[in-house]
Amino acid sequence: MRTDQCKLLIIGAGPGGYVCGIRAGRLGVDTIVVEAAKPGGTCLNIGCIPSKALIHAADEFARARAFADENELGIRSQDAKIDLARTIAWKDGIVDRLTAGVSGLLKKAKCRFLAGRATIIDGKTVDVTTADGLVRIRTETLVIATGSAPFELPMLPFGGNVISSTEALSLDAVPARLAVVGGGYIGLEIGTAMAKLGARVTIVEAADRILPQYDAELTKPVSARLAELGVSVHLSAKAIGIAPDDEALRVATPDGETTVQADKILVTVGRRPATQNFGLEDLSLRMNGDFIEIDDRCATSMRGVYAIGDVTGEPMLAHRAMAQGNMVAEIVAGERRSWDKRAMPAVCFTDPEIVVVGDLPDRVPGAKVTSFPFGANGRALTMERSDGLLRIVSDPNSELVLGIQAVGVGASELAGEFALAIEMAATLTDIADTIHAHPTLGETVQEAALKGLGRNLHI
């Protein structure tokens, strides 16, 4: 057995792990990142990036198809066709470019990358099974960044026609009929894309509405668009298994059991942290449910062992993992850091997109809530989309902005301003008195702030 040693060992090269590696390397910390698959983790390889590539392709295809018919823009084209295998190859090209980029960045930061499967021996020792054999690494500090995996339903185990998001993003043909179990953001994103690619999509959600963690005001435009796209949505419905002929999903609804014909059944009912089968249990870390318990420095209950990203709990978001990884690298390098983030943006790349930052209105009784419709925004209209709204939640006494949410076309690109406003402790006046370029969707932020101050202009 070969042996090696380092100051910082990171298990997992997802957004949390690789950012931690790059930052630590730049700070001169002798760092090794261990990864069993390609660098980039779920996000780059089978998550955020591939799904956005698919959504883009689906949007382009839907547009092209729309031009085959009479339309307001006066554009006509021939019948549109899609070769999904080629689309997927294009997507894989982007993923390869990005993962190669991560490898390059790690290298440039003088952070060593070790391809192989890690097994924790103790808090300072990790065995890595590589192509060249077993390597035992001694480290001063250990960071667990192993991420999460799709949650599997016992009555719908993955395999055959039952697929997770991973397989759904690598299909070589559009399924004629797709059933999606779980109306959360992953199911809705992939389900919407598949519908635009021509699949007949049915969504089965156990709660009484889609995206149940958000309020109805935000989800209504998405529901409306799903209906336009011909996606059927079963609410208060539970998937209970596969029909014997393997071609349908059995669903329990309030009105009794029914079946949904499906060539593929996509199960997106959440993700569970990857905390098993690599020796983590032997550390007996204090847990918080299924997650590893951490303090405000991402330290676990064992000295010298940190955890970042999805293994540390909700929200399971790449940018949260990145910020945690960055912070832990600086802590390991001897800097004083603790988690003091105020804003955690969350984006659903549904149609239209939903962005949520800070407090939702129903979380802060007594807060001032002002909204501005996308239908009153010139830029939105030139994009042929008037559905959606932007909403600011603020403290009526101090004007302090507590939350900003939006649902609308292109809303995801506004997430940065929302988060900046809350992180900077902006007030309504700060936003209202900042010139927002015309004509842009961002004007809706300024307009909502103006409205909150009683200085409405375009509404």
Partner 1 sequence: MVTLSMKLPDVGEGVTEAELVEWHVKVGDVIREDDILAAVMTDKATVEIPSVHSGRITWMAGDIGDIIAVGSDLALIETDGPAAAETSPAAEPVAAETATEESSGPTAPEPVAASPGDAASPEPESLRALPVGTAPLASPAVRASARDRDIDLYRVRGSGPAGRISLADLDEAANGRQDYGSTPRRMQRQGETKVNIVGMRRKIAERMSIANSRIPHITVVEEIDATSMEELRAKLNAARGDKPKLTILPFVVAALTKAFVDHPEMNARFDDEAGVVTRFAPAHLGIATMTEAGLVVPVLRHAEALGLFDVASEIARLSDAARQGKATRDELTGSTFTITSLGPLGAIATTPIINHPEVAILGINKMAIRPMWDGSQFVPRRMMNISASFDHRVIDGWDAAVFVQRIKSLLESPALIFVED
Count of beta carbons in the 10 Å neighbourhood of residue 393:
23
Which one of residues 74, 334, 366, 454 is an interface residue with partner 1 (CB under 8 A)?
366
Q: Is 365 in the site for partner 1 (CB under 8 A)?
A: yes
Q: What type of residue is 426?
A: A
Q: What type of residue is 421?
A: A
Q: Is 364 in the site for partner 1 (CB under 8 A)?
A: yes
| Catalytic residue status for 438 | yes
- Positions 284 through 343 that interact with partner 1 (CB under 8 A): 336-337, 340, 342
Q: CA-to-CA distance for 34 and 139, rounded, in angstroms?
A: 12
Contact predicate 418/404, CB 8 Å: yes
Residue 56 or 238: which CB sits closer to partner 1?
A: 238
- Positions 213 through 232 that interact with partner 1 (CB under 8 A): 213
Q: What angle do CA 83, 86, 92 make, to 5 degrees?
A: 145
State the nearest-atom distance from the C-beta of 369 to partner 1, in Å.
Answer: 12
- Positions 227 through 256 that interact with partner 1 (CB under 8 A): 236, 254
Which helix or strand (DSSP H or E) is residue 257 part of?
strand 256-261
Which helix or strand (DSSP H or E) is residue 329 part of?
helix 318-332
Q: Is 107 in the site for partner 1 (CB under 8 A)?
A: no
- Residue keyed to tokens 């409205």: 451
C-alpha closest to that of 276 among 176, 164, 147: 147
**Catalytic option among 56, 436, 438, 458:** 438
- Of the candidate spans 14-22, 72-80, 119-127, 208-216, the one that interacts with partner 1 by CB under 8 A turns out to be 208-216
Contact predicate 358/404, CB 8 Å: yes
Residue 115 or 206: which CB sits closer to partner 1?
A: 206
Q: What type of residue is 119?
A: T
Total residues in contact with partner 1, by rule CB under 8 A: 31
Q: Is 206 in the site for partner 1 (CB under 8 A)?
A: yes
State the nearest-atom distance from the C-beta of 120 to partner 1, in Å.
Answer: 32
State the nearest-atom distance from the C-beta of 109 to partner 1, in Å.
Answer: 22
Q: Which residues pair with 126 in a beta bridge?
A: 120, 137
Residue 76 or 341: which CB sits closer to partner 1?
A: 341
Q: What angle do CA 311, 17, 93 make, to 5 degrees?
A: 110
Q: Which residues bind partner 1 (CB under 8 A)?
A: 206-208, 212-213, 236, 254, 336-337, 340, 342, 359, 362-367, 395-400, 402, 423-425, 427, 429-430
Q: Which of the residues are catalytic?
A: 438
